[in-house]
Amino acid sequence: MKGTKAYLVEPLLATIRIVAIPQENRLAVIRNLIGCDLIDMVRIDDRLALIVDDNGLQETLPCVTQLHDYPSPLAGNLLIIGTDVYGETIDVAAAIEDIASRLTIVRPVLHPVFETLNGPRIFGTRLSAMEVRVEQRPPAVVEDNFY
CA atoms within 13 A on the CB side of 10: 11
Q: What is the pLDDT of residues 74-98, one digit of tens each?
A: 999 999 999 998 888 899 999 999 9
- 7: burial class by Cβ within 10 Å (0-12, 13-18, 19+)? buried
List per-residue pLDDT tens for the chain, 147 residues long.
589 999 999 999 999 999 999 988 989 999 999 999 899 999 998 899 999 998 888 878 899 999 999 999 999 999 999 999 888 889 999 999 999 999 999 999 999 999 988 888 777 888 999 999 999 999 999 987 555
Phi/psi class of residue 102: alpha, beta or left (left: φ > 0; alpha: ψ in -120 to 50)? Answer: alpha
Please tell me the total number of residues recorded for the chain in this structure: 147
The ranges assigned to domains in the chain are 4-107+135-142
Return the SS3 of 56: helix
CA atoms within 13 A on the CB side of 92: 25
Helix residue ranges, H only, 21-75: 26-34
CA atoms within 13 A on the CB side of 49: 18
What do you get for the CA distance between the two ends of the chain, in Å? 6
Whole-prediction pTM? 0.85
Q: Phi and psi of 70, rounded to 5°?
A: -120, 130
Look at residues 5, 145, 18, 139 and name the one whose alpha carbon lies nearest to residue 82: 5
